[in-house]
Structure 1
């Protein structure tokens, strides 16, 4: 195999690893209401993962957009809550639990607005969510530590590889948990089957003895 082919393979592999794995972008219209429901965008995140939320809110009169960042854990942790965000807002949190992180928006109508006008009021939300290695500002790190371009790319590669390893460890633990649950369920089913068999056998024996005793009392058998 030629050296150029090996270099091409290594370069392709590096580009695959450097492809953003946890970047989510969405653009949508957020309808305004007097008492607005929350519109939440959910993304998976592991514990201690850095999450950078960049929200760009379009213009809109008599409207106030609030943002709240929560998670899907049973405790429903609220990481951040901010009212009246405008233009571009950049928010950073660290996930505390395994699950999903939700970025929730509410668009409130303010002032005296007619119902007809209210039905046509909305604001455009441009949302970017970076999680894990993609949330790290490597340019700032490069400037702070005086890293060269190659060293910066290697630092990015290191972060992505670490994220992949963490993901594999998470999947391994999840598989072990599912396997343990499967074994436990099978054991319970087996125990229930044995209990059912013993109960039916005992009930059958009791019925035979009861019928035998009944027939003896009626002098139908000796």
Structure 2
């Protein structure tokens, strides 16, 4: 496989990018969730097409209510952060309006990049005086490392899921055995009880 093939294949099989348009009604809040991995840089950017006289605030928090980013005003902004552990972050846009009967949607464009996509290799190349081919090789190198990291993480998740499934299967098996033993014990006790009862009533010898 030559370098040209790598240029074509790697970007096709790997892309860690989220870009969406959201329409938010005045005096409402709209949120969505995004996975973030440990020690992987994340860059977010949003732009509001038309405020319609409204005020838009954005907040990015994790499941422990730790704030990665918070801004109450502005029509566009760019932010970046890195998480200390794997988590799911909540990105929320809240639109506040001072109008009496606000009805217009506020269109918001939001883009979030992870890992290699979040790095600006042109700036890195300019700082290190790298040639265009060297910049692209650096990008491919980082991309390959990130692919390996993702594969290792997927393998770990698969192992954890398999272990969890085996543990659940064993518990179900032992619970089934316990249930059968209880039923047999109850049936045996019923037989002894009925036999004693019938003997007491002299219905059987």
Q: TM-score, normalised by structure 2?
A: 0.90
Q: 2:103 aligns with which of 107, 112, 119?
A: 119
Unmatched runs of 5 consecutive residues or more in structure 2: none
Aligned residue number for residue 189 of structure 1? 172
Matched-pair contact (CA < 8 Å) for 1:95–1:101: no
Describe how 1:1-222 pairs up with structure 2 within 5 A: 7=2, 10-19=3-12, 21-33=15-27, 36=28, 38-71=29-62, 73=63, 75-86=64-75, 88-110=76-98, 113-115=99-101, 118-120=102-104, 122-222=105-205
> 1:204–1:60: structure 2 CA closer, same or farther, 3 Å change rule?
closer
Matched-pair contact (CA < 8 Å) for 1:43–1:102: yes
> 1:123–1:200: structure 2 CA closer, same or farther, 3 Å change rule?
closer
Q: Deviations for 1:138-183, whole angstroms, at most 9, x for unmatched residues? A: 1111111111111111110111111111111111111111111111
Matched-pair contact (CA < 8 Å) for 2:52–2:106: no
Structure 1: 4+ residue segments shifted above 4 A: none
Matched-pair contact (CA < 8 Å) for 2:26–2:54: yes
Once the 2 structures are TM-superposed, how far is the Cα of residue 61 of structure 1 from its aligned partner? 4.4
Matched-pair contact (CA < 8 Å) for 1:67–1:85: no
Matched-pair contact (CA < 8 Å) for 1:48–1:94: yes
Unmatched runs of 5 consecutive residues or more in structure 1: 1-5
Once the 2 structures are TM-superposed, how far is the Cα of residue 44 of structure 1 from its aligned partner? 2.6
Q: TM-score, normalised by structure 1?
A: 0.83
Give aligned pairs, total: 204
RMSD after superposition: 1.9
